[in-house]
């Protein structure tokens, strides 16, 4: 094992597709890499051979570890309104709206409000 593989972050798992092949053989292939596969008489042996092949390719440098950032793109937007002078007013309007919705749900619609419908037919 090289220094690179000893101190690199090793993934805890990866997807391997195992298939029965003609002649009673089994193949194990690392998903996404068609040329990284192993064949053996049993499923377990095919997976072990693939594991060894991956180790060899890591040690030789033909496969390397690469960090992929997993930051949610929406996280960069959090806190963007903290310096907005209208933000407190915006929060106050949300609070008022929620209070109004709660009031209407508790007591029903206000009879003095226009319902938006008319019993008088229009021509």
Round to whole Å and give the CA distance between 81 and 87: 7
Round to whole Å and give the CA distance between 20 and 42: 9
Confidence of residue 10 (pLDDT cuts 50, 70, 90): low
Whether the CB-CB separation of 45 and 62 falls below 8 Å is answered with no
Round to whole Å and give the CA distance between 89 and 113: 26
Q: In this predicted model, what pLDDT tens digit does every residue of 49-86 receive, in sequence order?
A: 999 998 898 889 888 877 777 778 788 788 877 788 99
CATH of 3-60, picked from 3.40.50, 3.30.450, 3.30.2010, 3.30.160, is 3.30.160
Tell me the three state secondary structure of residue 17: strand
Round to whole Å and give the CA distance between 51 and 1: 14
Give the pLDDT of residue 98. 95
Confidence of residue 4 (pLDDT cuts 50, 70, 90): very low
For the chain, domain boundaries: 3-60, 82-107
Whether the predicted pLDDT of 111 surpasses 80: no
**What is this structure's pTM?**
0.47
């Amino acid at each position: 094992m090289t220094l690179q593989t000893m101190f690199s972050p090793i993934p805890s798992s990866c997807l391997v597709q195992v298939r029965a092949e003609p002649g009673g053989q089994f193949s194990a292939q690392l998903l996404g890499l068609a040329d990284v596969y192993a064949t053996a008489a049993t499923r377990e042996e095919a997976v072990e051979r693939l594991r060894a092949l991956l180790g060899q390719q890591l040690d030789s440098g033909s496969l390397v570890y690469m960090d992929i950032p997993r930051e949610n793109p929406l996280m960069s937007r959090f806190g963007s309104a903290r310096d907005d002078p209208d933000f407190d007013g915006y929060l106050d309007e949300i609070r008022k709206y929620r209070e109004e919705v709660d009031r209407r749900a508790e007591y029903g619609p206000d009879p003095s409000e226009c319902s938006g419908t008319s019993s008088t037919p229009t021509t």
